[in-house]
Amino acid sequence: MLAKAPGQAMHLSQPPRFRPPPTKSYSCPIHASKRSPMSQETPYIFDATTADFDQSVIENSFHKPVLVDFWAEWCAPCKVLMPMLQSIAESYQGELLLAKVNCDIEQDIVARFGIRSLPTVVLFKDGQPVDGFAGAQPESAVRALLEPHVQMPPPAAADPFEQAQALFDDSRFADAEAQLKVILGEDNTNAKALILYARCLTERGELGEAQTVLDAVKSDEHKAALAGAKAQIKFLGLARDLPDAADLKARLAKDPLDDEAVYQLAIQQLARQQYDAALDALLKLFTRNRSYSEGLPHKTLLQVFELLGNDHPLVSTYRRKLFAALY
């Protein structure tokens, strides 16, 4: 009855009581005070007994899903499966409870749910069995069974700066700025926090204030990030004094070899973070006219590389193309 694939509906009936293999002797009962070698209790991994099953499993399942592992000491597959189930339960950090039922002892529970083979695992939610499987399963299959019913906990709290960086990368600049203010309130010489804070200011147009923050960075430890942040301020500042992108595109429609319009449009694109288009235009301009404005396209390409950082896929692509153009 229970030999089913994870994800199928779980139907439990009331068949005859579970019986262990006839070769197994049960002359030595295990008392409640004696912990089984398979037992590893935590706040969300515990043994369930006939006396407390309704409370520890049924009632708890109205608050958190409860995975019930029916096992026995003589069952070799049980000993393989249980540590994996415990590891999975630990990974949910309390969002999933794991109850272990020793079928050698808890015969009333076995009969109540019609357990016919071991190991059998049943997931309870809102007081009812909602899914389960019999026999050993790979971890991926167990997690697939749990996924619709159990919410993974949020990732462990990251380093405060990493949190700020993640917010910035998500374009949540105000939230990143607030996080960075807390960091800088504890250490106003934190170079990487100052640099990222300046980039937040830049994103909301406070270029002068951002430059002042960058000027306060004295450490040489983050040279590339510092150079990139300064380049971003420079591009935004330059873009303010240039013709609109639409006007520049109109000029290029009339004369595609208008080097000034090509360069100025690339700056406008950089200010709008249209990096791919800007890098392509700068590289083509450099290839066609290396001497334009004393090698300005080449210098600008290098500044964009600093702005994006070596890990950015566009940087590796355009570094190769620039190297090919140079040599």
Write out the catalytic residue numbers: 75, 78
Neighbours of 173 (CB within 10 A): 16
Whether 116 and 1 have beta carbons less than 8 Å apart is answered as yes
Residue 5, sorted as left (phi over 0), alpha (psi -120 to 50) or beta, turns out to be beta
Question: What whole-number distance in Å separates Cα of residue 225 and Cα of residue 217?
Answer: 11
Report the residue count for the chain: 327
Question: What whole-number distance in Å separates Cα of residue 307 and Cα of residue 225?
Answer: 7
Alpha-carbon distance values, 177 to 113, 166, 171 (Å): 55, 12, 11
Whether 164 and 180 have beta carbons less than 8 Å apart is answered as yes
For 105, counting Cβ atoms within 10 Å of its Cβ (0-12 exposed, 13-18 middle, 19+ buried), the class is: buried
Extract the tokens encoding 224.
């590339």
Largest CA distance in the chain: 98
Nearest CA among 140, 153, 49, 43 for reference residue 98: 43
For 79, counting Cβ atoms within 10 Å of its Cβ (0-12 exposed, 13-18 middle, 19+ buried), the class is: middle
| DSSP codes, 55-71 | IIIIIGGGTS-EEEEEE
Nearest CA among 104, 44, 48, 40 for reference residue 71: 104
Alpha-carbon distance values, 156 to 93, 145, 159, 164 (Å): 10, 24, 10, 15
At 134, give phi and psi (nearest 5°).
Answer: -120, 145
